[in-house]
Amino acid sequence: MSGPWEQFAKQPEVSGPWNQFKAPSPSKDGRPPVVEEESIFRQVADVPVGMARSFVGGLENVANTYRPDSDAAKSLRGAKEYLGALMSATAKKDEKEQARILKEVEDKGAMDQVQGALKALAVAPVDTISSAVGSLGSTSNRRTNWIFAWRSSWCAYRI
C-alpha cells in the first residue's frame, strides 16, 4: 500500500568525502541500543505539567474565541507544545493509546463510545483527571463566561 510516507524511504547513499564522518550504526555490534528507565519523579511530575498544559490550552481556546490565530493564541499554542514536550515518554505513550481507543469508537453507537471513554480513562486515570482539572481552571470563572456571552451577543448584533 502506497502513501505519503514513501517520500521518506531510504535513499541510495551518495559517496563523498563526508562519509568518513558518518556515525556508526548502533546495530553493527549486534547489541540493542541502551534504553534508560524513567525515574518515578519524572512520572510524578507529569501531573502538574499536564495540569499546566491543559490550563494553557484553555487559555488558547479563549484567545481563539476572540481572534483566531492571533499572536496571543500562537504564543499560547507554543507554550502548550513546550509543556507537552516536558511530559515523560510513558505519559506520551498513554496519551497516544487513549487517542487510539477513542478513534476506534468514534463512529460507533453511544454505548460503545461510553465504554471506549471508560477504557481510555483506565489507561491513565490520574493524568486524565489532572488534565480535566487544569482545563477547568482556565475556563470556568464567571467573568470569562460573561465575556463569552457578551462577545457572542455583540457579534450577533453586528451581523
The predicted-structure confidence for 112-135, as pLDDT tens digits, reads as follows: 999 999 999 999 999 988 888 888
* Residues 56, 76 contacting (CB under 8 angstroms): yes
Alpha carbon 30 to its chain centroid, in Å, reads 35
Residues 6+ apart with CB under 8 A from 134: 50, 51, 52, 53, 54, 55, 57, 58
CA distance 102 to 89: 20
> What is the average pLDDT score of the chain?
77
Do 76 and 60 meet the contact criterion of CB atoms below 8 Å apart?
A: yes
pLDDT digits (tens, 9 = 90+) for 38-78: 778 888 889 999 999 999 988 888 888 888 788 988 999 99
What is the average per-residue pLDDT within 94-115? 92
Kindly report the CA angle at 115 between 112 and 119, in degrees rounded to 5? 135
pLDDT band at 152 (very low <50, low <70, confident <90, very high): very low
Q: How many CB atoms lie within 10 A of CB 30?
A: 5
Residue 81 has pLDDT above 70, yes or no: yes
Q: How confident is the model at residue 151 (pLDDT cuts 50, 70, 90)?
A: very low
Structure pTM? 0.62
Q: What is the mean pLDDT of residues 24-48?
A: 70
